[in-house]
Structure 1
Amino acid sequence: MSPTPVRLVLASASPARLKVLRAAGAAPLVSVSQVDEDAVLEGLAPGVPHEDAVAALARAKAEDVATRILADDPLPGRAVVIGCDSMLSIGGELVGKPLTPEVAAERWRAMRGGTGTLLTGHCAILVEDGREAGSAAGTRATELRFGAPSDAEIDAYVGTEEPLQVAGAFTLDGAGGWFIEGIDGDPSSVIGISLPLTRSLLAELGVDVVAVWAGASRTS
């Protein structure tokens, strides 16, 4: 018997996350959360573990989108809202998007030749029959070994503007890949959304990943 199709809703504007999901056979809707990330972080207890911080951000994003879907535009059948957040844990500090060229260049000069842990928090919320039917959350950690680009290479990379809007000021699947010596963990997590973790969270909600493929086929 074929599974009942389930539609994914990605609570993120990240083109990299969308690309990963599409390449993996999903056809998610995109509904960008309106969460104030700084406010969420400021509301956490002092010294909260880095893993818990990114999980809290992911949950806030998923809940924001799920709430708006249920209030304004209920989806027919079953859907799962996926919220994600990625930050780099390095030198005892948790860092997100650098946003400015100056910060991006400073971070690269500090982390070149070193290592860091990319943390990606995920939250999945099942929406069914006009109500929230369950949620599951988790975090995936991937160790990174950074290369040692020269000052000129760092300046050129920052000049592309690619690192300004990505966690930790680097990508794995873009120009930043030139400066990543290796990773220990899940590559899709570094790009922005961990497929293995997402599959596990779906399973916690009673959703088989095959149902997500079926949902994509129905809407393609």
Structure 2
Amino acid sequence: MTTLEDPTSLVLASGSPRRRDLLTQLGLRFTVSAADIDETPLPGEPADVYVLRLAREKARTVAGRFPGAWVLAADTTVAMGAELLGKPVDPAEARDMLTRLSGRTHAVYTGVALAGRAESSMVIRTGVTFRTLSAGEIDWYVATGEPLDKAGAYGMQGKGSFLVSGIEGSPTNVIGLPLGETLELLTQAGVPLPWRAP
């Protein structure tokens, strides 16, 4: 159990530097405390159910460490039809994922959960269409190393932006946190925001 100087503080239950950067850009002040949970999908678990389950579990796990605080958690996955595409285990799997995504539209799902002083959650879906990629483009991108720690083997906020030809929905959802919808969740819970007095 951890005691914060301000018991109404916001805690981000994620070690993701992308989520941290997105919240920091908006002037939000928060503590980072990642949740260590089993992220294995259940057999036949749909993408939206999977990310919501993990986000809620992360938020509740970390909320136990910070009594009285708001705890925000998120989980993102890439889905091609009913198949979930997690982080590739090696360059060969990254190359295979990118080849399959080439020239097609897939879905990115993020579950966002708030726990502690209040509990609420949501799932956001964004459609992402890839350009038709050449083998050379895929090989070059895999060689950068960027795909290896990204769900679906790409990062739209980095070098992987050249892969994408179109987006339907929240762009920041593809990065790992749908900002507009997350801010609405925080607002409804009464979390103090930089532009609004507590």
Q: TM-score, normalised by structure 1?
A: 0.80
Answer yes or no: is 1:12 the counterpart of 2:2. Answer: no
Residues 196 and 214 (structure 1), Cα distance of their counterparts in 2 relative to 1, 3 Å cut: closer
Equivalent position of 2:178 in the other structure: 194
Q: RMSD over aligned Cα, in angstroms?
A: 2.3
Alignment partners' CA distance in 2, 1:99 and 1:31: 25
What is the Cα deviation at residue 195 of structure 1? 1.3
Larger helix proportion of the pair:
1
Q: Is the CA contact (8 Å cut-off) linking 1:136 and 1:204 kept in structure 2? A: no
Equivalent position of 1:143 in the other structure: 127
Equivalent position of 1:129 in the other structure: none
Q: Which string of whole-angstrom CA distances, capped at 9 and with x for unpartnered residues, describes residues 46-86 of structure 1?
A: 4333211110011111111111234xxxxxxx532111111
- Is the partner of 1:134 in helix, strand or coil? coil
Alignment partners' CA distance in 2, 1:81 and 1:99: 30
Answer yes or no: is 1:85 the counterpart of 2:69. Answer: no
Q: Which amino acid aligns with 1:160?
A: T
Answer yes or no: is 1:62 the counterpart of 2:46. Answer: no
Relative contact order (alpha carbons < 8 A, sep ≥ 6): 1 or 2 greater? Answer: 1
Alignment partners' CA distance in 2, 1:136 and 1:155: 42
What is the Cα deviation at residue 92 of structure 1? 2.2
Q: TM-score, normalised by structure 2?
A: 0.89
Equivalent position of 1:121 in the other structure: 111
Answer yes or no: is 1:27 the counterpart of 2:64. Answer: no
Alignment partners' CA distance in 2, 1:27 and 1:181: 34
**Unaligned segments of structure 1, at least 5 residues:** 71-77, 127-132
Report how many residues are paired. 193
Q: Percent identity?
A: 36
Q: Is the CA contact (8 Å cut-off) linking 2:112 and 2:121 kept in structure 1? A: yes
